[in-house]
Structure 1
Amino acid sequence: MSASSYFLVAAFVALVASQATAFDPSPLQDFCVADMHSPGLHMTQWAMAVNADDFFKAAELDKPRDTMASKVGSNVTLINVMKIPGLNTMGISLARIDYAPSGENPPHTHPRATEILTVLEGKLYVGFVTSNPNQLFTKELNEGDVFVFPEGLIHFQFNPLTITRHAAVAIAALSSQNPGAITIANAVFGSKPQISDDVLAKAFQVEKGTIDWLQAQFWDNNHYKF
């Protein structure tokens, strides 16, 4: 193998290793509060520029959210670095999810976080799908039960009428200050601009008319609007 080939192999291995170990940056001091008034969330480095309010959010998760206005019957209230600037570099965030009877938090992924969820009220049917060959893991959760959704995998929570006819509430912790969320149906059929119906018809092995109908729907965002 030539010297140039050795270099390319070494560079490839280094790139794969760097991607495999990617995660939120670790703090290099006690804290590094995000500057919410600066483009790109530039960081405040000195304690004298910070106060207790940078680590505080008043009574944000104690209030039930409206689930009836959502087509999917759920409402997600996320507390991330955009809400508490002191979370910057801390690698955590928190969410409250409210579910109407028959409501769901539809299949989605968090590209930067593992999620651990506990049911506070009601019951839920939850699950996630592994990468190929796409094995499904599901569980029925009661109050106080805890379930983990691995980072990047498609997962969901559902409050089916077959289990209960009452509303449900859950709290989720996520291992990123800004975990992100990709709701599968919204991303595939509601992107702007839209994905070509030729591409989607081939991918889903259906007629283009079916894709056109799906793309014409209103794909609801169930995240609470502050």
Structure 2
Amino acid sequence: MFIQALFIFPILLLIASSTQASVLDFCVAEPSLPFGPAGYSCKNPANVVVDDFVYNLSAAGNTSNLLKAAVTPAFAPAFPGVNGLGISIARLDFAVGGVIPFHTHPGASEILVVIQGQISTAFISSNDNVVYYKTLYQGDVMVFPQGLLHFQINSGNGPALAYSSFSSANPGLQITDYAMFGNNLPTNIVVKATFLDTLEVKKLKRVFGGTN
């Protein structure tokens, strides 16, 4: 009996951890219904149409901004067909000198494929802060493990284009610079927490929209 339990218990865990889409054929997102840990609630299958499973990423993002880069996400809120499937994709456009600064995706690992140009990128492990750095060219692919700090920089002489796929329909995004300096924490607290001087913190708060 005990041996049988050892085999049955992992199977029960696997069933319990299955996504909504493994119970149904799919779970097209219905953003008007509550959002939960498993994603959006499912749209009534009778109302599902083929366009729920199609998304167009042909248009370049607007890179006329501070970062000289743009991310066009095809995540569940905009691309309802990926809800519950544990996958999504985004388009990354870079003008010359464009950068997506240090950031994390708390809910997903990422695979980046370079379509055009030259992109220098790296991630940092949480074990001894080892840096894994590489300059990528057309056709190169790199993976970024879930939750680790990473960045992408256009290090070439022309525009760059890449696509990133994620192991979640809603991978989440936290850009470190905006998190640290785009907030209302008092400057003196940020100074102590970052070891930067007061003038530098105030400058960065102005750049990233922070106050106090």
For the aligned pair, the TM-score class normalised by the smaller chain equals 0.7 to 0.9
Q: Are 2:163 and 1:171 aligned?
A: yes
Give the direction of change, closer, same or farther, for the CA distance of 1:24–1:147 in structure 2 (3 Å limit): farther
CA distance in 1, matches of 2:27, 2:73: 21
Among 198, 203, 209, which residue is 2:199 paired with?
209
Report the TM-score, using the length of structure 2 for normalisation.
0.82
Q: Which runs of 4+ in 1 moved over 4 A?
A: none
Number of residue pairs aligned between Structure 1 and Structure 2:
190
* 3-state DSSP of counterpart to 1:177: coil
**Other-structure match for 2:66:** 71
Structure of higher RCO (CA pairs closer than 8 Å, 6+ residues apart): 1
Contact 2:116 2:162 in 1 (8 A): yes
Structure 1 alignment gaps of length 5 or more = 1-17, 220-226
**1:94-105 matches, cutoff 5 A:** 94-105=89-100
Contact 1:126 1:138 in 2 (8 A): yes
**1:83-94 matches, cutoff 5 A:** 83-94=78-89
Contact 1:90 1:177 in 2 (8 A): yes
Give the direction of change, closer, same or farther, for the CA distance of 1:112–1:159 in structure 2 (3 Å limit): same
**1:136-151 matches, cutoff 5 A:** 136-151=131-146
Contact 1:24 1:177 in 2 (8 A): no
Report the TM-score, using the length of structure 1 for normalisation.
0.77
Contact 1:108 1:183 in 2 (8 A): yes
Among 175, 186, 200, which residue is 2:190 paired with?
200
* Structure 1 residue 35: Cα displacement: 1.1
CA distance in 2, matches of 1:110, 1:24: 21
Contact 2:20 2:27 in 1 (8 A): no
Contact 1:197 1:211 in 2 (8 A): yes
Contact 2:191 2:201 in 1 (8 A): yes
**Other-structure match for 1:12:** none
* Structure 1 residue 39: Cα displacement: 4.3
* Structure 1 residue 128: Cα displacement: 0.6
Structure 2 alignment gaps of length 5 or more = 1-12
After superposition, give the CA deviation of every residue in 1:121-171 in whole Å (9 maximum; x if it has no partner).
1111110111142111100111000000110001011112xxx21111001
Give the direction of change, closer, same or farther, for the CA distance of 1:117–1:144 in structure 2 (3 Å limit): same
**Other-structure match for 2:112:** 117
Identity of aligned residues (%): 36
CA distance in 2, matches of 1:132, 1:216: 33
CA distance in 2, matches of 1:159, 1:199: 33
**Other-structure match for 2:75:** 80
**1:43-82 matches, cutoff 5 A:** 43-44=42-43, 46-57=44-55, 60-67=56-63, 69-82=64-77
* Structure 1 residue 198: Cα displacement: 2.8
Cα RMSD for the two superposed structures: 2.1
